[in-house]
Structure 1
Amino acid sequence: MKEFHFVKSSHSASSGECVEVATNVIGTVAVRDSKRPDGPVIRVAAGAWTAALVGVKATDG
């Protein structure tokens, strides 16, 4: 398995409820729950992640 280097989202809640994202593996974005670092990891293509962020930002009011 590739080693991911996770960082917390800049939009993390002060209560610690947040996601961590790793972008150090070319072409892949990995996402996990910061409260469960040994839990499951979702891996998506970098282009799919970018499209999802664009969609979220377009609806952020």
Structure 2
Amino acid sequence: MDLRQNERANLKRCLGGLLYQSYTNLEILVLTKGTLTKQQAEFLAEFTTGLKSSRLAN
């Protein structure tokens, strides 16, 4: 999915569904074509709160 502003709602719904399920042995990879903007990195960082392990790297 695209991380431009108009697609963030779709990605938020998609990631939210993955994170709030009963299966706990889960790894989510977010791949990009290049570097993330500050806003894109902050948007993705919202999903790492409360996770057992997370890493966001550019």
TM-score bucket (shorter structure): under 0.3
TM-score, normalised to structure 1's length?
Answer: 0.25
Q: Give the number of the structure whose residues are more often helix, by fraction.
A: 2
Higher relative contact order (CA 8 A, sep 6+): 2
Greater radius of gyration (CA): 1
